[in-house]
A and B are shown apart, each in its own frame.
Chain A
Amino acid sequence: MRRVLAAAVFGRPPSVPGPDPASGDPLRAVIGEILDVSPHVITVGTEEGAEERLVIAPWAKAWRGTELPPADVPVGSRVTMRTRREGRVVEHLWADITRATGVIRSVEGRKDLTVELDCGPHRGRRTVMIPYRATGRLRVRHPYLEPGFLFDAIGVREDGVTKALLPATSQPPYPARSVPPPPPAYGGVQSRISGTVVWSDVFDSGERGAAYPMVERSDAGCPDAEVSCVGLPYLAIGSLLAVHNVCGNRSGNVPIVACGCVAGRFCDRCVECDTGARGRIAELSPAAFVELGGELAKGCFNARVGLG
């Protein structure tokens, strides 16, 4: 709505959300619950109540806490799948994957740790369990496991419990309140900004949207917005972000649907394909992230982002 009105004022055609047709064979994300799985075919029940049968590609990979053959993913798991050929062929699937991103409020426990996170004003709090076997791996990348510092981990959701298994980033060394200021932008804003794009699972299921840190606090009703260590231009909820995945060479337009007040506090780099620029520009919903060629278990990709 806002997008169409803004386009009308400037007399330009409104851009449309979705993948850029020039990016090649479009990827489609399919999200659902596994009803049946065999080495070659998987049947999932989607949110809309439909049943979809998809072919598993011979090169397909699966993840559920660790890499495993697709046929070993248990029935009943909630999967996010990256598919080709108009959603017929699965090439990558992630089962029960979840991501816990926020500011640490408390850490309890001696062997298995229980971490309470503050995920921002409109996302509330969340409790994450770190099993003993994963604590070493997480602590290496999260040296300050104490209140006030940032936390970002990928894990699985089992029986309603979020278990963090992999660090999604190297923890920023500053407390969440002390985000470094953006570099001065004397020359003017570039039309495309480089940085990191991550995903988050706090969006509605199947939604294709993004959370962006630089929205006006009064517009978004988000007191923690407008914080980022990248010199980002102001955009609004409803604007369209043109995201180009530098790692996978895919582009697409994603609407901004929320304020990314936690994402803006991370001044980290994504080292998945190359050392990228510092700072998180946007947080995508899992479906949008997968359709832009991102891999959920890796957690991020380097991107160039502009106004769509």
Chain B
Amino acid sequence: MLAAQLPILIVLLVMGAGAKLATVRTDATPGALTRLGPAVLVPGRWRAPALMACAVGELVLACGLLLTTFPIFRYGTALFFALSTYVLLELRRRRPDAGCGCFGEVSSTPVGLRSIGRTVVLTGMAVMAIFAPVPGWVPFIEPSWPLAAGLAVLAVLSPELEEAAHRLRYRAPCEQRPSSEAVALAKLKASGPWRDHVGTLVSQEPRDSWRELCWRFFAFENRDHQHVVFAVYLSGLRPAVRVAVVSMESMPESTPVSV
């Protein structure tokens, strides 16, 4: 009974750590960390290290809970969630616009009573777990009904679930989503128009490739010295592919392009 909530704690710690690491890794997009969680309470250059340190701490606690019964990990977990509650209260007071950042970038909705309630519940679970007689992997194998109840409570208290549902429902339009050239090329090579023209091409590597709105274009040359241009739609598993063969003579003088 006391150990029933350990799986929740472990999974949440691991998820939190993973999401934070992913957020730090995508900091190539400037400004990603300016709106997130406790990191906004520290000066700009410490934001990424603070998130990293938090993530590493969570991973260590999760491993300790999963494999051992050492009290240090259990007290540590209780302390971690108690501190989180305090930090969230402080964050709500000082930066009401910032998200909690608990699960990285997806937790960007401003800290509300639900987020704070969740850390209070988690603190309670962690305190219960201090007295659990078995290591964390045991309740993973033998789940019990309090585990389901705990999950339900957390689901109700998680604004991230709604956020994730909204993101799935209302994705940014394809024109604004980044998309990989390699994926588009792979989709092109699996398409019918490619099979129709591949025999005539001089090389299977495109001479030029560019993206315009929701289409990625690949230009090849065929054996008759003509341009073969494919356009691949960037949305969907089996996207539309268009093709045109343009003779070199019909091309106007190309305008110089400086990069």
Contact = CB atoms under 8 A, between A and B. Distances in A.
B229 interface: yes
- Could you say which of B44, B176, B229, B231 has the most chain A C-beta atoms within 10 Å of its C-beta? B176
A179 B254 CA distance: 36
B25 to A, nearest CB: 16
Interface stretch (A86-94, A128-136, A158-166, A213-221): A213-221
A307 B181 CA distance: 21
A165 to B, nearest CB: 28
Interface string A136-179: 00000000000000000000000000000000000000111111
A293 B178 CA distance: 34
A48 to B, nearest CB: 15
A179 B31 contact: yes
B182 to A, nearest CB: 9
Interface string B16-38: 00000000000001110010000
Nearest to A4: B251
Interface residues of A, number: 52
A181 interface: yes
A4 B252 contact: yes
B35 to A, nearest CB: 8
Interface in A238-284: 238-239, 255, 257-259, 265
Contacts of B243: 9
Interface stretch (A55-63, A110-118, A229-237): A229-237
A67 interface: no
A73 interface: no
B138 interface: no
Nearest to A226: B178
B224 interface: no
Nearest to A17: B255
A234 B212 contact: yes
Contact of A5 (B34, B172, B175, B217): B217
A11 B231 CA distance: 12
A2 B29 CA distance: 28
A189 B210 contact: no
Interface size class of B (residues with CB under 8 A): 35 or more
Given A5-B219, A6-B212, A226-B178, A257 B258 contact: yes
B257 interface: yes
B257 A257 contact: yes
A236 B211 contact: yes
Nearest to A215: B211
Interface SS of chain B: helix, strand, loop or mixed?
mixed
Contacts of B217: 2, 5-6, 9, 236
A180 interface: yes
A8 B176 contact: no
B34 A178 contact: yes
B46 to A, nearest CB: 14
Interface in A178-234: 178-182, 184-186, 188-189, 204, 207, 209, 214, 216, 218-222, 226-227, 231-234
A289 B109 CA distance: 41
Contacts of A220: 259
Contact of B175 (A122, A175, A221, A233): A233
Given A10-B242, A178-B30, A234-B211, A186 B170 contact: yes
Interface of A: 1-2, 4-6, 8-11, 17, 122, 174-182, 184-186, 188-189, 204, 207, 209, 214, 216, 218-222, 226-227, 231-239, 255, 257-259, 265, 307
Interface of B: 29-31, 34, 44, 170, 172-173, 175-176, 178, 181, 208-213, 215, 217, 219, 227, 229-231, 242-244, 246, 251-252, 254-255, 257-259
Q: State the 9 A-B residue pairs at the shortest beta-carbon distance, nearest first.
A: A236-B210, A233-B175, A177-B30, A186-B170, A1-B254, A8-B244, A178-B31, A9-B244, A5-B229
14 contacts: A1-B251, A1-B254, A2-B219, A5-B244, A8-B229, A9-B229, A10-B231, A179-B31, A184-B172, A189-B173, A189-B176, A219-B211, A255-B255, A257-B257
Given A2-B210, A259-B259, 10 more contacts: A1-B254, A1-B255, A9-B229, A174-B34, A176-B30, A177-B31, A209-B258, A219-B210, A227-B30, A255-B255
